[in-house]
Structure 1
Amino acid sequence: MLVMPLILTALMMSYGFYSAFDAKMRANKAAYTLADYITRQTDAVTPEFVEGMAEMYKFLNNKRDISLRVSAVRWSTANTDAGEYELVWSSGMGELAALDGVSDIESRLPLLSNGSEVVVVETIRPWSTPFNIGLDSIKFSDVVTTQPRFATQVLYEDGSTTTSAPSGHVVADVTGDAGSLGGG
């Protein structure tokens, strides 16, 4: 009888910590899955597409209250000799609103060559312990940076404009032919 409360407490603590690690693992795998799927897009990404990605993230985490932001960032030496990151487009929901610039994520971006672009997927997923074992609620956040797979960039279309590559950039289509995107 004296040992039973200790055993139950140990079991509840073990399950609580297991639950936290499981939730973090699921959040991380879901973020990588979304990033991989988005970087394989050959059609322009739309706000509805990003909402669909949020629904997929909710499904993969079995959680309704999530935040998601998808952004494209390019390295350019056009404005400075040293070069700088430029925000190409951004779309977000929940706590993660669309970015205005790259200052919030610049420390998480990889080194890029001139004109290279990456897609940044940021996610936030809340977690709370199933038992009161002394752990507070946690918000798991992930930042996944991935280069586009089948083209040099992932286009974004918000209904009024399409964000495309600068003049002269070449984007390969799925058939293997190369075409030049105009625009600015």
Structure 2
Amino acid sequence: MKRLITNYLKDTTAAVSLETVIVFPMLTWAWVGTFAFFDAYRVYNTSIKATFTIADLISRQTSTVYGYDIEGMAAMLESMIRDTDGVEMRVTQILRDTSGDYRVDWSHGTGTQAQLYTANLAAVEDRLPDMANGERVVLVESFVDYDPAFNIAINDLTFDNFTLTRPRYAGQVPYDDAMTPPSS
């Protein structure tokens, strides 16, 4: 009996099959998990870059920005990010008045995002930079829903991006909330 057990322990004829059965599920899980993490990173990184692009585009405006322009920029944001549903954006121009308080000049939200008002500006005031009295900044917030392709260690996420930029060529970005472009 002892010889049979010794021979059984020394027998390696099915070792590759047994190792494959043990290791293959772990390798598959690791490969799929790596894909899921890198895809989430891609969406996050692209959403940040796209938000900076929109903020830069708005900050360079010298003519009036309309509500339909911002809706179009939100569609452009969604196109830049690719493969995501549920991209929303809010653009707000904030003034620091002569008394040193922050005030909302105008705000426009797309999708389900509400406008930002001076009354609820306190929620983001700690994230605003120190500015000179009379100076304005444009705040672009994007909200990108991410649904992973595989449910491995990553749940559904919403990437919130908060980007501030100063108007480039004028003291402020003029705004009109019209939602219909003028006829040519």
Matched, 1:157 2:176: yes
Greater length-normalized contact order (CA 8 Å, ≥ 6 residues apart): 2
Equivalent position amino acid for 1:120 in 2: L
Equivalent position amino acid for 1:72 in 2: Q
Q: Distance in 2 between matches of 1:23 and 1:149?
A: 28
Kindly state the Cα deviation for residue 107 of structure 1 after the two structures are TM-superposed.
1.6
Per the alignment, residue 115 of structure 1 pairs with 134
SS of the aligned residue for 1:130 comes to coil
Per the alignment, residue 160 of structure 2 pairs with 141
Per the alignment, residue 168 of structure 1 pairs with none
The structure carrying a bigger helix percent of its residues is 2
Equivalent position amino acid for 2:144 in 1: R
Structure 1: runs of 5+ lacking an equivalent: 160-184
Equivalent residue in structure 1 for 2:87, among 66, 83, 94: 66
The structure carrying a bigger strand percent of its residues is 1
Per the alignment, residue 114 of structure 2 pairs with 97
Equivalent position amino acid for 2:151 in 1: N
Kindly state the Cα deviation for residue 129 of structure 1 after the two structures are TM-superposed.
1.5
Matched, 1:7 2:27: yes
Identity of aligned residues (%): 34
SS of the aligned residue for 1:38 comes to helix
Q: Distance in 2 between matches of 1:134 and 1:58?
A: 25
For residues 22-66 of structure 1, the C-alpha deviation after alignment (integer angstroms, 9 at most, x for no partner) is 110010000000000000001111100110110110100113411
State the Cα RMSD in Å: 1.1
Q: Number of residues paired by the alignment?
A: 155
- TM score, norm. by length of structure 1: 0.81
Kindly state the Cα deviation for residue 104 of structure 1 after the two structures are TM-superposed.
2.7
Q: Distance in 2 between matches of 1:64 and 1:41?
A: 28
Kindly state the Cα deviation for residue 109 of structure 1 after the two structures are TM-superposed.
0.9
- TM score, norm. by length of structure 2: 0.81
State which drifts further: 109-118 or 127-136. Answer: 127-136
For residues 108-140 of structure 1, the C-alpha deviation after alignment (integer angstroms, 9 at most, x for no partner) is 211100110000000000112111213110000
List structure 1 segments (4+ residues) > 6 angstroms apart after TM superposition: none
Structure 2: runs of 5+ lacking an equivalent: 1-19, 179-184
Per the alignment, residue 164 of structure 1 pairs with none
Structure showing greater radius of gyration is 2
